């Protein structure tokens, strides 16, 4: 902020976020600290490059006035992004009731008994704003759990059906093995004396086969 006897000027640096082929604007605020009407005028070292609205005006006692400075679209960037352009804001006490259309260049000429207050403003180029990083869209949280849940239920149902079928087959095989064992015991009780060693070998082989079958079923 520049604090003068007549006007407070904020800011004292005109900052432009420089972009090629694009108009860029920034604002000034003028505050009248006095009880008088204050006339102002804005000059620049490069009038073809900038547009100032309003470039002249009157600030009422205790009031503020906003000034917009627009830089025309540029075809190339300056070396090292350094700008040598400058602005000069002049202000003088004006008669009560003066209108902006009544302001003349002679009002800002320095003469005995007339105080012309001056505020110099620098121009600064800022790098253009960076675009936001792209964000990958996440899947809808309300859909994924539903799909996963249905798939899980389907797999559990199939597993239960398969297990139930294997258990039924295993029980049937066990019953069949038990029936064969009983028949073998009846057979051996009646013929073990007459058949001698031959029957004993058959019994051993049958019992071994039953054991193998039971072992296989227990593993599955």
Q: pLDDT 10s per residue in the chain (220 long)? A: 777 899 999 999 999 999 999 999 999 999 999 999 999 999 999 999 999 999 999 999 999 999 999 999 999 988 889 999 999 999 999 999 899 999 999 999 988 989 999 999 999 999 887 777 776 666 555 555 444 445 555 566 777 777 878 778 777 777 777 776 777 777 666 655 555 445 556 666 666 677 666 666 665 5
* Predicted pLDDT at 157: 72
Pick the CATH number of 2-126 from 1.20.120.850, 3.90.79.10, 2.60.40.10, 2.40.10.10: 2.60.40.10
* Predicted pLDDT at 41: 97
Query: Where in the chain are the domains?
Result: 2-126, 144-219
* Predicted pLDDT at 147: 46
* Predicted pLDDT at 161: 78
* Predicted pLDDT at 149: 45
Close Cβ partners of 44 (under 8 Å, ≥ 6 residues apart): 50, 52, 85, 86, 87, 88
């Amino acid at each position: 902020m520049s604090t003068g006897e007549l006007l407070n000027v904020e800011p004292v640096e005109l900052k432009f976020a420089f972009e090629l082929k694009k108009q860029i604007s920034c604002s000034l605020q003028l505050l009248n600290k006095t009880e008088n009407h204050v006339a102002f005028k804005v000059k620049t070292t490069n009038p073809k490059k900038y547009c100032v609205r309003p470039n002249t005006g009157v600030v009422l006692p205790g009031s503020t006035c906003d000034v917009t400075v627009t830089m025309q679209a540029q075809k190339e960037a300056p070396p090292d992004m350094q700008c040598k352009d400058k602005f000069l804001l002049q202000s003088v006490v004006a008669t009560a009731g003066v209108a902006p259309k009544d302001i003349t260049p002679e009002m800002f000429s320095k003469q005995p008994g007339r105080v012309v207050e001056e505020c110099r403003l620098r121009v600064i180029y800022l790098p253009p704003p960076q675009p936001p990083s792209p964000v990958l869209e996440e899947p809808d949280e309300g859909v994924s759990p539903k799909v996963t849940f249905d798939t899980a239920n389907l797999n559990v149902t199939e597993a239960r059906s398969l297990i139930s079928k294997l258990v039924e087959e295993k029980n049937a095989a066990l019953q069949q093995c038990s029936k064969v064992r009983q028949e073998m015991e009846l057979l051996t009780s009646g013929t073990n004396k007459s058949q001698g060693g031959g029957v004993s070998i058959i019994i051993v082989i049958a019992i071994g086969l039953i054991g193998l079958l039971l072992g296989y079923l227990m593993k599955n």
